Structure formats: C-alpha cells, structure tokens
Amino acid sequence: MSQRLVGVVVSVVAILATAYPVVLDPIRDDSFPLSTYPMFAVARPTKQSFDYAVALTATGERRRIRPRHVANHEVMQARMAFHHASRGKTLPALCARIAGRVAADPALADVVTIRIVRGTHDALDLLVRGVRGPERTLHECEVPR
C-alpha cells in the first residue's frame, strides 16, 4: 500500500470519526473523546427553584451567606446540604448550624436571623436586572449572640 493511500484512509477515518456524533442523540450518546457537550445541546429553562439561606440584620437588610457558613467552601456541597435538609426534615438543625457559623464570623456581626427559603427566580431577571422572584420561608432561626 502506498503512503498516499495510507494518508487518504487515515484522513477519511479521522473525518468520519469526527463527524459521527452529528448522527447521535446529543443528550444520551455523549462520550469521550468526542463529546457533544449535552449541557449546551438543548435549551434550558431560565426559571429555577432552589433552597438557600438568607441572613437578616435587625433592620431587615440581607447579608450574603457563603458556602462555608453552610457546609464548606464548595458551592455544590452547600446546595446539596439544603436539598437533603429540606427533604429529610432537618432544616432546624441546618439553620442552627448556619447560625452558629454566622455568629463566629465578625463580618456578619450585625446578622440576627437566618432564614432558609425556597426561591423561584428567573436567571436573567436576577443576574441581569437584580430582580428576585418569589421566596417562601421554610425555616427561620436566631443567631446566638
């Protein structure tokens, strides 16, 4: 076999292997090394509901609760802590743990209440316009001072 023929065969195989994912279902047939990137393959809703904590001062101002106040420095682990607590009915224990960590944080010395809420927000409204969607209080506890 000539070098030219080998080059043509290798090129055709490479082109077909690269084009093959086009005929696959972009959601179910994702694989290494030729990923279809399924997280970008379909339109996602911009409105999402999730649970999170809100720190409130005596005057009702909101303060940011960081993931380390909930679980550790990992955002997804903090999110899962809320998920498991709301499904396992352990929100009071989670709220108390957050309140204890907030009490130990000098940057949050003005926080008096922790409220765990379920918020439904449109990502575009929240991130671009700063408009929050509705929030429903799931549990509330005082910060020990």
- Quote the pLDDT of residue 145: 82
Q: What is the mean pLDDT of residues 86-100?
A: 94
pLDDT at 130 over 80: yes
Neighbour-count burial for 116-143, b at 16+ CB within 10 Å, e otherwise = bbebebbeeebeeeeeeeeeeebbbbeb
Structure confidence by residue, pLDDT tens digits, 14-32: 988 888 777 777 677 777 6
- pLDDT-derived band at 39, boundaries 50, 70, 90: confident
Q: What is the mean pLDDT of residues 84-100?
A: 94
The chain-wide mean pLDDT, for the chain, equals 90
Distance CA 112, CA 116 (A): 14
Q: What is the mean pLDDT of residues 46-51?
A: 93
Q: What is the mean pLDDT of residues 32-55?
A: 83
> What pTM was estimated for this model as a whole?
0.73
* Structural domain boundaries in the chain: 3-40, 47-142
Backbone torsion region of residue 118, taken as left when φ is above 0, otherwise alpha when ψ lies between -120 and 50, otherwise beta? beta
pLDDT at 127 over 80: yes
